[in-house]
Structure 1
Amino acid sequence: MDLYSIGEMLIDFIPGDVPGSYLRNAGGAPANLAIAAARCGLDTGLCCSVGNDDFGRFLLDTLRQNGVRALRTELCDEAVTTMAFVTLTETGERSFTFARKPGADMFLRESDVKESDIREAVIVHAGSCSLSASPAAEATVRALRLGRQLDKLVTFDVNYRDMMWPGGMTACAAKVGEILPDVDLLKIAREETVLFGGEDALPALMERYGLTLVVETLGSGGARGYFRGREIRVPGRPARCADTTGAGDAFWGAFLSLLRFRGVTRAEELTEPLIREAMTYGNVGGWLCVQSKGAIASLPSWQEIRRHLA
């Protein structure tokens, strides 16, 4: 397995073509990343758990149809699948309203994390959504720690939704900080750097936690990386659409895919030219996703990314 991703699953209800109708779109950052990586040709498995309901089955089917192995396929009777109802504002931005039951929205258990799955994988990934409730947080911490102990490449994606936690950004930053010592590569969006004190604080964050690489996505402004005391900048592409849903997952899926195709299995094997190349692929992947207005259906394939780079 190239990529082992662990995290939450949720459903967006996005406005359909007919007034009053809504379309279901499976989501959740670790799930979207797993699908993005699968579309780029990686052998990908997602450790997730869903409710024994229509939505849960829809999510599992979505994974399978997109080439992702669901590493925990048992449906949970005691929980319901997390749902995010999405509406469009007057400016065309998306507005999220989460339908979550306390203790039921994040129902992945520590026992769901199988050492055999992590041992098989090259890259172990999680998103910070998975830290927002106790059972899933324990499962995520165990997965990342196992990945580090087994000398895997460990990656982590900070997600803006975590700012909605009880305790706000302070609690979110503290929780993320607990797992960073086990992380090699950290991905963060520009608007999420406020969790750690802003963009200028990222180099100090790297030193504090021993991170090998931090990649900050800047939207149409491209991306920047911090690596061995140096800043790496890659320009972006202007987009015609303000809706960036899924762009970060498309970026990171393409980024990790490039590293895998180049044979990287450990953080020590990273070089500045390789990181720059991966960021370039990531920028194109995110740009293509934005051009198609987000959602799983628009996560680009490796062939699409190569075609636009050519």
Structure 2
Amino acid sequence: MKKVAVIGSISTDFVVTTKIIPNQGETLVGESFQTFFGGKGANQAIALSRSGLDVSMIGAVGKDVFGQALIDNLKENGINTDMIQTVDTAESGSAHIQVMDGDNRIIIIPGANDRLSIDVVKQYQQQLQQMEMVILQNEIPVETIEYIIDFCATQRIQVLYNPAPAKEISEEYIEKVTYLTPNEHEAVLLFGNKERAEVLRNYPNKLIITLGNQGATFFDGEAEVIVPAQKVATVIDTTGAGDTFNGYFAKGILEGLTIAESLKLGNAASAIAIQTKGAQNGIPMYEKVVASL
């Protein structure tokens, strides 16, 4: 079984479903409130685990009522949690999500996720050397992300970097990662207002830009390739769709599929995920994704 490590955020999602998003100073009555397990790192780890990979996670939770539940949830999903820290100097991370007509707006409180320091990661260098891929997102400190990319480059470990939520990163680190998977908005922050085709040509078979319900695109060295999304009759909740996509894209790559085939797998998995409420609830098992293809 392929080994992969996710280094990233672990959080609780507090989700309000509403028919109207309030304006500044306005109070409205929503439809429902629910809590879910989340965090981009944890979501991607669960997608990878449900795809059939051997997954370990490095992250941090607070010593509060949410921390142990977050760890237990990962264990129940078959993820090695031995490298998750419990810190008593911060609350566990949280995301506060408004959902309207299947789309969402999110405010993140990093909490303990911001305590995932370089010194913490250094403790697990030996375990990381056993991994075939390391997956990163932007919900942990930038200096930690840069250290991990440098370490993986020296050890020849593949890195899939999902630069979400959007932050600026230097060209040096883009060059060092194996795959970079921003959405359209994140790509604009990273590369400015350059034409998409130009940006993709600069990073053949590395840069994958996700296009929402249009699918995903990359440059294969000869031409721009668009892998279309699977059509869905009813969208319930897009929270976690990108994380599901990244997890299943990584699954395809590690199983020897081409980039285009891996994108097709990721698109199929995320199409299933958005038909269920909650970032992790809808993440499908591998057999269901294959059946949908």
User: What is the TM-score when the length of structure 2 is the normalising length?
Assistant: 0.85
C-alpha distance in structure 2 between counterparts of 1:68 and 1:200, whole Å: 40
Instruction: Provide the residue aligned with 2:229 in structure 1.
Output: 236
2:37 maps to a residue whose letter is A
Mapping for residues 16-165 of structure 1, pairs under 5 Å? 22-89=33-100, 91=101, 93-99=103-109, 106-113=114-121, 114-130=124-140, 136-159=141-164, 161-162=165-166
Contact kept, 8 Å, 2:45 with 2:247, in 1: the verdict is yes
Instruction: Provide the residue aligned with 2:244 in structure 1.
Output: 250
C-alpha distance in structure 1 between counterparts of 2:108 and 2:62, whole Å: 16
CA distance change for structure 1 residues 62 and 206 in 2, over 3 Å: closer, same or farther? farther
Contact kept, 8 Å, 1:202 with 1:214, in 2: the verdict is no
Deviation at 1:178, TM superposition (A): 5.2
Describe the superposition over 1:228-273 as per-residue Cα deviations: whole angstroms up to 9, x where unpaired.
Answer: 24312212222221632111111111111112122xxxxxxxxxx7
2:15 matches 1:14: yes
Contact kept, 8 Å, 1:64 with 1:70, in 2: the verdict is yes
Contact kept, 8 Å, 1:2 with 1:260, in 2: the verdict is no
2:157 maps to a residue whose letter is K
RMSD: 2.5
Contact kept, 8 Å, 1:241 with 1:290, in 2: the verdict is yes
Contact kept, 8 Å, 2:5 with 2:133, in 1: the verdict is yes
Unaligned runs of 5+ in 1: 131-135, 163-171, 263-272
Number of matched residues?
276
C-alpha distance in structure 2 between counterparts of 1:37 and 1:145, whole Å: 23
More helix by share: 1
Contact kept, 8 Å, 1:46 with 1:70, in 2: the verdict is yes
Instruction: Provide the residue aligned with 1:181 in structure 2.
Output: 175
Q: Identity rate of aligned residues, in percent? A: 26
Deviation at 1:116, TM superposition (A): 0.9
Contact kept, 8 Å, 2:14 with 2:97, in 1: the verdict is yes
Contact kept, 8 Å, 1:218 with 1:224, in 2: the verdict is yes
Contact kept, 8 Å, 2:14 with 2:33, in 1: the verdict is yes
Instruction: Provide the residue aligned with 2:26 in structure 1.
Output: none
CA distance change for structure 1 residues 140 and 48 in 2, over 3 Å: closer, same or farther? same
